[in-house]
């Protein structure tokens, strides 16, 4: 009976989160005529990426994708976008073109799962399990969650994170084996990048609990803990190993720090962190004050209660492990080098780990209510903090400029804060009904503010973006162009390649091949999260093999072909085919000393070789080689190229070089070389060359082997404790 009652509490947590999630999501689905869409990253990344992943898995393009910019490692590219997340797998069960209609219901499900998982962690720490339900709502609908509705893939991570702490508690407190391994595996394959930050936070959580003697650890239990974590990681190496090797080539992880950068933020960062803790969340663009945009996910506001209950608990329980963990989290938030330990020490500021301390803040809040602590002191301290923030803002405004960008938006936020204070005062006054009162206030707040966030994200509107359905429904009409490279004018939406399954340079995705970055850097093009090669830069488009141009307006310098919906297709008749050859070479160091303009001109005439390559191929140049024929075809996880040449030469493929490529020519294995600062070069012979290039990510095979062996080890371990010791 007690077990059934407990399960009912879990079900209630799930249903309440589902209901609140539905209140946020369903109105937007209705206004979108069945499609849940927002703006910018959501519409141009989250939906296209998931449609492409679905398509690629079902068509066997699971190692290399041609639809991400110039082409890239499929697993490395999309693992950050939750390639193996259980929520994504649900989407794979349906046709690709259903996803824009499925994303809303799956979003709602994520809220429900977050409610369950956070409840499981919180229930241990309260006598009245209804408070755990309340805490699950605080966590599931925190400011972090509402702001990050723009980033669909973040919500999978938030939903599953509490299971890490729950399974750790079950192992240490209850000696229950096996759960931690599965949860480590689940979190690792859901999103490897967030998993690193989660590991850091859980380690801090563990150390604090040991120091505070909440965790009583002996040698045997410690070995078990290490074993379960290690096996969970090893089981996920089929993903983690190739992703690690792929990510090493991304220059975004190679940022360097100065001593000042390590310890000091600009004022605006401090302001945003404090505001994110005290104020209801804002959208990432078109904000109310100081910064017009902030995409760092800095909001950490707990619905209605903010920091009031956290402060009340902190003051009363200074030596509690949760108070200590909260203080340490604040220290990490305010010191750059510590904060960025959660994001691989990237020098760019991100706060995308804040959902972790938010779970602890939710625990402190419900403990504060259940223990009937003095909430008034929390209100007073919160008001003092707000006044200090306003004072510093005033001082800052005297020195620099502190802008109120949208006074009406600010008024809404202030009114919501007042609403929250009223709610806290009521639960303090009517303690016997505090659960019902606070839950009612949370429902009202989330229902209003959640929908208001969507309204703001859609530029003060609820309407679907004009022509968005046209954007996601033109794939079949592009099929005839599937073996050619495109570029897209800036007057069109980006990521057309993902939607229409074509090789398209214009891509909004930070995860591209490392050697694509190398090439762009070599010709002076800054590439961070966006590839935007101007279609008017004809010489560069020619070198990159761009045969077709997509524009949403008339253009004059290319040959018009046809209209596809809102797109106008033009042909670039001067493009260089994949596998083209040149008649001379230049040494790499000499080339790198040229101006960017001269580099592009040189690439039209010469191949760029390093010193070792010159020793191998110097006899091939200069030459007068020409092709009698040259055909090229994209295939699953590679390409085919047939070249009939009048002499030996090197064929240059404008495809990012990767050590995972292997090649054969006329059924004989051949070497692949990195030329032109990042492209594939293949030596071809006089006569006919039938070249087949295949791709397998570095580390993929060994990762699978280790994962399989680890799974067997885990099953043996599980069998031992299930059958013989009943400790699962």
Residue 548 lies in a domain: yes
pLDDT at 723 (0 to 100) = 65
pLDDT at 726 (0 to 100) = 62
Between 489 and 39, whose confidence is greater? 489
pLDDT at 328 (0 to 100) = 97
Q: Provide mean pLDDT across the span 656-662.
A: 96
Q: Provide mean pLDDT across the span 710-718.
A: 95
Shared domain for 181 and 243, answered yes or no, is: yes
Shared domain for 429 and 479, answered yes or no, is: no
Shared domain for 439 and 528, answered yes or no, is: no
The helix or strand, by DSSP H or E, that contains position 77, with its residue range, turns out to be helix 74-78
Shared domain for 239 and 358, answered yes or no, is: yes
Containing domain of residue 538, as a range? 474-571
End-of-domain residue from the set 429, 457, 485: 457
Shared domain for 301 and 420, answered yes or no, is: yes
End-of-domain residue from the set 410, 432, 457: 457
| Tally of domains in the chain | 3
Residue 286 lies in a domain: yes
Q: Provide mean pLDDT across the span 106-115.
A: 98
CA atoms within 13 A on the CB side of 289: 23
Residue 318 lies in a domain: yes
End-of-domain residue from the set 571, 592, 621: 571
pLDDT digits (tens, 9 = 90+) for 435-445: 999 999 999 99
Structure tokens at 462: 């609820």
pLDDT at 714 (0 to 100) = 96
Shared domain for 417 and 559, answered yes or no, is: no
Are 663 and 693 in contact by the 8 Å Cβ rule? The answer is: yes
Are 524 and 82 in contact by the 8 Å Cβ rule? The answer is: no
The helix or strand, by DSSP H or E, that contains position 261, with its residue range, turns out to be helix 259-263
pLDDT digits (tens, 9 = 90+) for 290-341: 888 899 999 999 999 999 999 999 999 999 999 999 999 999 999 999 999 9
pLDDT at 2 (0 to 100) = 43
Q: What is the CATH number of the domain that holds 648?
A: 2.60.420
Going by pLDDT thresholds of 50, 70 and 90, the confidence category of residue 5 is very low
pLDDT at 678 (0 to 100) = 95
pLDDT at 4 (0 to 100) = 57
- 475 pLDDT higher than 50: yes
- The full DSSP string for 660-709 is TEEEEETTEEE--EEETTTEEEEEE-SEEEEEEEEE--TTHHHHHHHHHH
Shared domain for 633 and 567, answered yes or no, is: no
pLDDT digits (tens, 9 = 90+) for 478-497: 999 999 999 999 999 999 99
Residue 58 lies in a domain: no
How many angstroms separate the CA atoms of 85 and 107, rounded?
13
Q: Provide mean pLDDT across the span 219-238.
A: 96
Shared domain for 153 and 228, answered yes or no, is: yes
Residue 615 lies in a domain: yes
Residue 576 lies in a domain: no
Rounded to the nearest 5°, which phi and psi values hold at 199? -60, -40
Shared domain for 92 and 231, answered yes or no, is: yes
Q: Among candidates 139, 151, 202, 146, which has minimal Cα distance to 13?
A: 139
Question: Over the chain, what is the mean pLDDT?
Answer: 93
Residue 178 lies in a domain: yes
pLDDT at 1 (0 to 100) = 43
Shared domain for 402 and 544, answered yes or no, is: no
Residue 323 lies in a domain: yes
Other beta carbons within 10 angstroms of residue 571's beta carbon come to 15
- 109 pLDDT higher than 50: yes
DSSP state, 294? -
Shared domain for 494 and 405, answered yes or no, is: no
pLDDT at 402 (0 to 100) = 72
pLDDT digits (tens, 9 = 90+) for 268-290: 889 999 999 999 999 998 888 88
pLDDT digits (tens, 9 = 90+) for 45-96: 999 999 999 999 999 999 999 999 999 999 999 999 999 999 999 999 999 9
- Sequence length of the chain is 728
Shared domain for 416 and 528, answered yes or no, is: no
- 627 pLDDT higher than 60: yes
For the chain, how far is it from start to end, CA to CA, in angstroms?
21
């Amino acid at each position: 009976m007690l077990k059934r009652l407990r399960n009912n509490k879990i079900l209630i947590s799930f249903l309440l989160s589902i209901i609140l999630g539905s209140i946020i999501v369903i109105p937007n689905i209705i206004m979108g005529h069945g499609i849940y869409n927002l703006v910018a990253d959501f519409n141009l990344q989250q939906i296209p990426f998931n449609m492409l992943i679905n398509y690629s898995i079902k068509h066997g393009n699971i190692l290399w994708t041609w639809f991400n910019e110039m082409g890239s490692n499929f697993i490395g590219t999309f693992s950050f976008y939750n390639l193996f997340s259980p929520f994504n797998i649900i989407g794979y069960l349906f046709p690709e073109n259903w996803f824009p209609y499925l994303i809303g219901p799956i979003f709602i499900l994520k809220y429900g799962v977050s409610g369950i998982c956070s409840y499981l962690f919180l229930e241990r720490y309260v006598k009245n399990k209804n408070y755990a339900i309340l805490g699950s709502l605080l966590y599931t609908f925190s400011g972090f969650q509402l702001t990050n509705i723009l980033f669909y893939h973040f919500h999978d991570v938030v939903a599953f994170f509490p299971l890490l702490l729950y399974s750790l508690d079950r192992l240490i407190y209850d000696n229950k084996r096996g759960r931690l391994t599965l949860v480590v595996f689940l979190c690792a394959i859901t999103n490897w990048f967030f998993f690193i930050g989660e590991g850091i936070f859980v380690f801090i959580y563990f150390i604090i609990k040991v120091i505070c003697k909440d965790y009583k650890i002996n040698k045997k239990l410690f070995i078990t803990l290490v074993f379960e974590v290690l096996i969970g990681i090893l089981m996920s190496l089929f993903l983690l190993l190739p992703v690690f090797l792929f990510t090493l080539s991304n220059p975004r992880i190679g940022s360097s720090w100065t001593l000042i950068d390590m310890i000091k933020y600009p004022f605006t960062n401090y302001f945003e962190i404090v505001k994110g803790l005290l104020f209801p969340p804002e959208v990432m663009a078109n904000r109310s004050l100081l910064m017009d945009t902030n995409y760092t996910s800095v909001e950490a506001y707990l619905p209605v209660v903010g920091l009031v209950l956290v402060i009340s608990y902190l003051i009363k329980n200074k030596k509690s492990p949760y108070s200590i963990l909260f203080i340490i989290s604040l220290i990490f938030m305010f010191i750059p080098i510590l904060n960025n330990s959660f994001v691989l020490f990237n020098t760019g500021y991100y706060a995308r780990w804040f959902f972790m301390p938010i779970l602890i803040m939710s625990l402190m809040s419900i403990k504060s209510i259940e223990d009937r602590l003095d909430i008034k002191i929390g209100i007073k301290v919160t008001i003092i903090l707000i006044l200090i923030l306003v004072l510093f803002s005033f001082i800052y405004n005297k020195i620099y400029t502190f802008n109120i960008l949208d006074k009406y938006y600010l008024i809404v936020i202030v009114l919501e804060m007042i609403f929250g204070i009223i709610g806290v005062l009521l639960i303090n006054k009517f303690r016997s009904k505090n659960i019902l009162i606070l839950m009612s206030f949370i429902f009202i707040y989330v229902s209003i503010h959640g929908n208001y966030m969507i309204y703001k994200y859609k530029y003060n509107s609820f309407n679907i973006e004009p022509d968005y359905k046209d954007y996601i429904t033109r794939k079949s009409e592009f099929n005839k162009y599937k073996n050619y490279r495109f570029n897209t004018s800036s007057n069109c939406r980006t990521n057309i390649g993902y939607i229409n399954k074509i090789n398209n340079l214009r891509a909004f995705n930070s995860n591209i091949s490392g050697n694509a970055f190398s090439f762009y850097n070599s010709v002076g093009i800054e590439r961070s999260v966006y590839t935007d090669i101007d279609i008017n830069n004809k010489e560069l488009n020619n070198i990159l093999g761009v045969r077709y141009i997509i524009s949403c307006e008339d253009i004059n310098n290319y040959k018009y072909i046809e209209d596809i919906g809102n797109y106008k297709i033009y042909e670039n008749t001067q493009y260089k085919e994949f596998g083209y050859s040149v008649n001379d070479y230049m040494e790499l160091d000499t080339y790198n000393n040229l101006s960017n303009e001269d580099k592009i001109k040189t690439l039209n005439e010469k191949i760029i070789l390093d010193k070792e390559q010159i020793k191998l191929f110097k006899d091939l140049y200069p030459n007068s080689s020409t092709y009698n024929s040259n055909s090229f075809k994209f295939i699953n996880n590679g390409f085919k190229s047939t070249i009939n040449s009048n002499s030996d030469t090197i064929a240059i493929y404008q495809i990012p070089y990767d050590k995972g490529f292997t090649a054969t020519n006329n059924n004989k294995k051949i070497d692949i070389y990195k030329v032109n600062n990042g492209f594939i070069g293949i030596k071809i012979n006089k006569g006919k060359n039938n070249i087949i290039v295949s791709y397998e990510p570095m580390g993929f095979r060994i990762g699978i082997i280790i994962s399989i062996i680890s799974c067997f080890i885990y099953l043996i371990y599980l069998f031992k404790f299930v059958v013989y010791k009943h400790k699962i």
